[in-house]
Structure 1
Amino acid sequence: MQKFWILYFALWLSCGLVWAQQQPALSSPPYPTKIYQVRKPSRDGIGKLYQGREIAQVMGHLGASWLERPEREREERTDLLLKALNLKPTDVVADIGAGTGFFTFLVAPELPRGKVLAVDIQPEMIAYLNEGKAKHKAANVEPVLGTESDPKLTTNSIDLAILIDAYHEFSYPREMMQHIASALKPGGRIVLVEYRAEDPNVPIKELHKLSVAQATKEMKVVGLNLLKNDDRLPQQHIMFFGK
């Protein structure tokens, strides 16, 4: 079964790339050469480097079925991830790169007096999120259409931002993280959930994995420090950052 999903994952990636190449570019600033470098793209990258790391190609909305696969909770242990976040009922959580809302709608019931800002840059995903909001009757979920360089979050508005297998695909990681850091309330946290690059047994393409050392290096650039690395998940890091 695992081999099947690995092959499915690869197919989804190729489909998403075809879709992405057919779409008009989102409105984003030009690449600042002092921040980013450009080279010939590798097979799974966009040819743009940040802090020595090539940014991975983006997966499109055609892979929605992968995000909603029945085995996901068992394979990724999203129940353990939810516990690790230690949420308060009043928290405002930003789910960055929310996709279809798989995790958004797990978080929402934990915040009876708070809310989830479900951020994505694809209008098709926003449509999925609105459908899910109605299906789950999740009045405390607010879909937000962001851009490649700006998640469209208000300054000092969130207690936690969670990025699940998303950060490594950001075309403008510094700009995005600067905006997300500015959106944190005092004491707020940013959580990166990424497949472990340190583990060669994790069956994910290299550019779609991220090490603790690389993540810490990149977060430090925008004034964020590693607070804790929680490795309770089978294949992913749960990295907590704060100002």
Structure 2
Amino acid sequence: MRFTFLLLCCLLVSCQNTDGPAPPTEDVYAPPGMVEADRERHVWQKPGVVIEVLGDIEEKVIADIGAGEGFFARRLAPLADRVIAIEIDQRWIDYLDTVRMTELPAALQPRLEPRLALPDDPLLAENEVDIVLFVNTLYLIENQEDYLRKLIPALRPGGRVVIVDWKKEDTALGPDPADRIGLSALAGILETAGFEVVSTDNTTLDYQYIMVAEKK
């Protein structure tokens, strides 16, 4: 309840700001009642940093690819117009639906939409989303270029992808460095798939980089 209250307070403050919504504080993302594993990830994941990179999302539709347990989806849903939480396992979809029903007030529940997709296709409709978010997911996709290319029709004008993935180096957390995507390799994949890289941040997060790209 404290988590929901803090999020709603953040929304009310945003509505009063004529210059756009104020960025949420980190306290919103780390409520006292969260489980310890989630709290530990909060420390190194810095969700507030990632959400600020997304910009003004108050009227945006976001596709969270590989949403998993909803670490980002549950935080974004009260702030965005809608969050489509994409997963390829029905068990995660069922879990996310429970999250939607138990963690969001009735008025906000339609903002979180768990959606079952395919390993090689997010099954997004044409012009459906403004932002596609990948967090620790793109490196797991077999053919990244083809997958990214399938996002082009789904993105609205000015649409972009935000990729948060593991640095290609030895870090305290993360997969084998051999399985990770380096920044230059990712930039090349995005370019070939029809995107233009607009920003790269390799320092703010301890174990991950953030790359933002827009469709050409």
Place the TM-score, normalised by the shorter chain, in its bin.
0.7 to 0.9
| RMSD value, Cα | 1.9
**Partner residue, 1:110:** 79
Secondary structure (helix, strand or coil) at the match of 1:159 reads strand
CA distance in 1, matches of 2:173, 2:42: 17
1:135 aligns with 2:135: no
Q: Is the 8 A contact 1:194 1:236 kept in 2?
A: yes
Q: Deviations over 1:130-177 (max 9, x none)?
A: 010001223200111100111110011111000001001112323321
1:225 pairs, out of 182, 196, 200, with: 196
Q: Deviations over 1:48-69 (max 9, x none)?
A: xxxxxxxxxxxxxxxxxx9953
Q: Is the 8 A contact 1:168 1:207 kept in 2?
A: no
Q: Deviations over 1:46-102 (max 9, x none)?
A: xxxxxxxxxxxxxxxxxxxx9953301002111211112113210000000111111
Secondary structure (helix, strand or coil) at the match of 2:110 reads coil
Q: Deviations over 1:204-229 (max 9, x none)?
A: 31144322101011111211111101
Secondary structure (helix, strand or coil) at the match of 2:92 reads helix
**Partner residue, 2:16:** none
Query: Matches of residues 121-160 of structure 1 in structure 2 within 5 Å?
Result: 121-137=88-104, 138-160=109-131
User: CA separation of 1:220/1:104 partners in 2, compared to 1, >3 Å: closer, same or farther?
Assistant: same
Secondary structure (helix, strand or coil) at the match of 1:71 reads helix
Letter in 2 for 1:166: T
Q: Is the 8 A contact 2:44 2:205 kept in 1?
A: no
**Partner residue, 1:213:** 184
1:94 aligns with 2:66: no
User: CA separation of 1:143/1:201 partners in 2, compared to 1, >3 Å: closer, same or farther?
Assistant: closer
CA distance in 2, matches of 1:207, 1:69: 27
CA distance in 1, matches of 2:179, 2:42: 19
How far does residue 191 in structure 1 lie from its aligned partner after superposition? 0.9
1:168 aligns with 2:139: yes
Q: Is the 8 A contact 2:63 2:86 kept in 1?
A: yes
TM-score, structure 1 length as denominator?
0.68
Q: Is the 8 A contact 1:195 1:208 kept in 2?
A: no
Aligned length: 175
CA distance in 2, matches of 1:68, 1:208: 24
1:83 aligns with 2:52: yes
CA distance in 1, matches of 2:88, 2:178: 20
Unpaired segments ≥5 residues, structure 2: 1-34
**Partner residue, 2:148:** 177
Q: Is the 8 A contact 1:226 1:242 kept in 2?
A: yes
- Percent identity, aligned pairs only, is 25
CA distance in 2, matches of 1:73, 1:106: 11
CA distance in 2, matches of 1:143, 1:158: 14
TM-score, structure 2 length as denominator?
0.76
Letter in 2 for 1:148: P
CA distance in 2, matches of 1:67, 1:160: 29
Q: Is the 8 A contact 2:197 2:213 kept in 1?
A: yes
User: CA separation of 1:239/1:191 partners in 2, compared to 1, >3 Å: closer, same or farther?
Assistant: same
Unpaired segments ≥5 residues, structure 1: 1-65
Q: Deviations over 1:14-71 (max 9, x none)?
A: xxxxxxxxxxxxxxxxxxxxxxxxxxxxxxxxxxxxxxxxxxxxxxxxxxxx995330
